[in-house]
Amino acid sequence: MQNNLFTRILQRLQPLREATGRWFNRRKATWQRFAEKYPRGSRIVKWGGLAALLGAFALLIFTLIVFLSVPTVRQLRQVQTQHASEIYSADGALLGRYFNENRTVIKYEDMPAHIFDALVATEDERFYRHGGIDFRSWGRVLFRTILRKDESGGGGSTISQQLAKNLFKRKNYKFLSLLINKAREIVIATRLERAYEKPQLLALYLNTVPFSENVFGIDVAARRFFSKAPSDLLVEEGAALIGTLRATTHYNPARFPDRVRERRNVVLRQMLKNDYITQSAFDSLQQLPLELCYDPVIKNDGIAPYFREYVRMELDRLLADHRKPNGQPYDLYADGLKIYTTLNTNIQRIAESAVQEHISYLQRNFDKQWQGQKPWVDDEVINTLMRASSRYEKYKKQGLSDEQIQKRFEEKIPMTVFSWEGDKDVEMSPLDSIRYYFCLMQVGFLAAEPRSGFIRAWVGGIDFNYFQFDHVRARRQSGSAFKPIVYTQALRSGIPPCEQIPNELKIYHQYEEGEWAVKEYGREDPTPHISPEGKDEDDWIPQNSDGIYGGSYSMEGALTNSVNTITVNLIMRTGYQAVIDLARKMGITSEKMPPEPTLALGTGEVSVYEMVSAFSIFANRGLRVPLTVISRIETYDGKVLVSFDQPKPERVISEEHADMITEMLQSVASYGTAARLRWKYGLHHPLAIAGKTGTSQNHSDGWFVGFTPMLVAGVWVGGDSPLVRFRHFEYGQGAATALPVWGIFMRKLLDDPRFSAWEEATFPVLSEALQDSLNCPHRIKSAAEILADSILADSLSRIELLPGEELTPVEGFEQD
């Protein structure tokens, strides 16, 4: 059927085909006669026609490229520029921006008129009289700017053409790039004039134009160089900013103020010429100095950089679940989102100040202890760090041998290194710089409100520009700071808090089936007879840091004095898996929690974030509220995209058990390992403080996690590697490394009038039943100790001498 139809169509077209053929044959015969009579002319016509045909084809392609690659008027009315997203603190301070182009878009009404006057007078005098293209300006550029070298009149492009270039980046068309891009900008400029009114074009231009230092738009530029909103700019300040547009690097106000002042006066002269200012105004304004109020806001500088980086990672996760009205995903760096966080800048600044004050002191102490010696045993760790460096990778790509690379790493070169006195220019070999940085003390600090879970301060290290690794999220052994979780499970398991638990040195053995059990008991005397010598490979002997054994302790007494033997006794009775399960419920998600009795002494690796989460449950009377950093996210036009209401608290432990642990931890802060909070840092009674210190094996990690009724704060201090440690326990313990940061922070916080009322807050009063359950001696001495005390009470050393008397030395005794 289809074949028959096709055949009929061909038959009907046959006369046309024949007529066309006869016409071409006659033209061919005519051309042959012309070519025979005029051979030279025929060649000219032939090649000219071919050239015309190719030219027409090229023009068609050029037109298609230009017109098909430019937006329509309707699309231009919906044009979207990249907006920097802004992150704000809970107290309304701008913490920083996330951007590809650092820009904040403002309305025409928020821009002063003199900014528009300066822009038009300098960049496009006939702006209000043309439709996007100013042909007269082309002649002006040729005569004035090129021949007479007069820069006051601006370039040949109109403001609309420059706006077209700002909105739509130029493309690469090989050798035709300049021609095609210029043509595109001309077409876009004429369409912009149809899409917008003149004032709208000026506002759009000033919101998109690049200034110095990767700053886009008049709002960010005004705040960067004059620390004020555009509406507050003075005439001479606005003229200075407009003047920098000619060459933003050459006229950088922060680097070349004299150049910018001269350029500012050129702009003022143009404003005078175009009747935007009077002669008297010009005469006075041009005499003024350029007074900047420079405020650089760099991505890694400013307050709370570790917090901002964590928020950024959270935003990547949160925004993945949301789409814009057009179905596209949100772009944190281009969509101008407003992120409101829980951070309090006043608390944050106090935290950063406390960290700087103590860690700088601690570093000097650390360096003095080692005095040029290596705080690690094996140099292979330095070689490993060298091989992991970007410098080593670069040398490898260059084809250098290991010997050549080693030599390069040992050669001194100029470099800038971190120091507590500020950036330091030194001559140092790359290998020495690795050793230098490896020995620096690091810190992680986190503070949150227990009832709301709102994080108020976050310090992830000593300097984000040099050390991006966040120690708030890093996991390290927690030492005795983990013990309150063990004691909580002991209470949950029904062990009475006033049970007197023997302070006995024991050997724990791991049997073939993986279970641990007591292998041998030590004697109940101050000098243990059990020693590491002769123990089996699968034996473990937990020892007290003070080396004292004998007698017995209540739970409160054992936790106050951080008695290891008692804590291990408790975890063996509760079961270490039960402790791990409780830790999970309290917010500790680390997988490095060994299911063995060593867990009681903090061999599990946890983060400051997790420990603050766990301790907030004690402060919140057994309720867990997840820690929160973001309160809400808004779109550029103010619509709430995500709002985080305070989550419903989850009951993890009973109110009674939480209050009992809090009571025990108050004893730690008053009489135990954290007592220096009271006598050294001025946090005297009746201020309500509870907390626990912690020190890992070989004193590589120092911890203190403490809380008041209003705030929970955790501190970790140590090196980037556990191989870096203090030489002596006295200096490396958590009470000497981490606790001082907490003490300095809390004292400064309560001295601040904005938070002084927190000093009056108290923990809940224990019920009479709970008070009775804890009303027992912290420690009962052994018989040997009681006997020794009795002998001491009757000894000569206790005799009070009369004036003028003295003791006769007795052999074998020292005189006090």
C-alpha closest to that of 616 among 401, 799, 449: 449
- Beta pairing class for 442-448 and 712-718: antiparallel
Question: Where in the sequence is the domain holding 567, given as residue range(s)?
Answer: 444-503+544-774
d(CA 432, CA 778): 51
Statement to judge: residues 491 and 599 lie in one domain: yes
Statement to judge: residues 44 and 155 lie in one domain: no
In a domain, 10, yes or no: no
Statement to judge: residues 434 and 550 lie in one domain: no
Amino acid at 177: S
In a domain, 340, yes or no: no
Of 271, 299, 327, which residue constitutes the final position of a domain? 299
pLDDT at 524: 44
Chain-centre distance for alpha carbon 370:
32
DSSP label at residue 323? B
Residue 630, H or E segment? strand 630-634
pLDDT at 786: 75
Q: pTM for this one?
A: 0.79
Statement to judge: residues 180 and 238 lie in one domain: yes
Q: What is the pLDDT of residues 741-776, one digit of tens each?
A: 999 999 999 999 999 999 999 999 999 999 999 999
pLDDT at 174: 66
- Beta pairing class for 424-428 and 85-88: unpaired
Statement to judge: residues 731 and 630 lie in one domain: yes
Structure tokens at 118: 């300066």
Structure tokens at 509: 């053995």
pLDDT at 532: 52
- As to burial, measured by CB atoms within 10 angstroms (0-12 exposed, 13-18 middle, 19+ buried), residue 806 is exposed
Collapsing DSSP states into helix, strand and coil, what is residue 35? helix
Round to the nearest angstrom and report the end-to-end CA distance of the chain: 128
Structure tokens at 579: 């402790």
Statement to judge: residues 63 and 132 lie in one domain: no
The answer to whether 163 touches 195, Cβ cutoff 8 Å, is no
Partnered with residue 717 across adjacent β-strands are 443, 702
pLDDT at 210: 92
pLDDT at 281: 95
Q: What is the pLDDT of residues 56-103, one digit of tens each?
A: 666 556 555 555 567 777 877 877 778 889 999 999 999 998 888 888
Low pLDDT (below 70) residues in the chain: 1-6, 10, 13, 27-28, 31, 46, 49, 53, 55-69, 138-156, 171-178, 180, 297-301, 520-537, 787-816
C-alpha closest to that of 694 among 440, 476, 492: 476
Of 741, 757, 774, which residue constitutes the final position of a domain? 774
Q: What is the CATH number of the domain that holds 114?
A: 1.10.3810.10
Q: What is the pLDDT of residues 554-584, one digit of tens each?
A: 999 999 999 999 999 999 999 999 999 999 9
pLDDT at 165: 85
Q: CA torsion sign, 567 to 573 to 575 to 580? A: negative
d(CA 241, CA 220): 11
In a domain, 814, yes or no: no
The answer to whether 113 touches 233, Cβ cutoff 8 Å, is no
CB neighbours of residue 35 within 10 Å: 15
In a domain, 138, yes or no: yes
Of 270, 299, 328, which residue constitutes the final position of a domain? 299
> Measured at the alpha carbon of residue 658, what is the angle toward residues 685 and 572, in degrees to the nearest 5?
115
How are the residues of the chain apportioned to helix, strand and coil, as percentages rounded to the nearest 5? 50, 15, 40
Cis preceding-peptide flag for 686 (omega within 30 of 0): yes
Statement to judge: residues 664 and 709 lie in one domain: yes
Q: What is the CATH number of the domain that holds 460?
A: 3.40.710.10
DSSP label at residue 90? T
In a domain, 58, yes or no: yes
Statement to judge: residues 549 and 654 lie in one domain: yes
CB neighbours of residue 40 within 10 Å: 8
In a domain, 491, yes or no: yes
Statement to judge: residues 613 and 705 lie in one domain: yes
Structure tokens at 282: 């010009």
Number of domains in the chain: 4
Statement to judge: residues 49 and 172 lie in one domain: no
In a domain, 423, yes or no: yes
C-alpha closest to that of 120 among 276, 249, 231, 252: 276
Structure tokens at 153: 């009149």
In a domain, 644, yes or no: yes
Statement to judge: residues 421 and 461 lie in one domain: no
Statement to judge: residues 430 and 294 lie in one domain: no
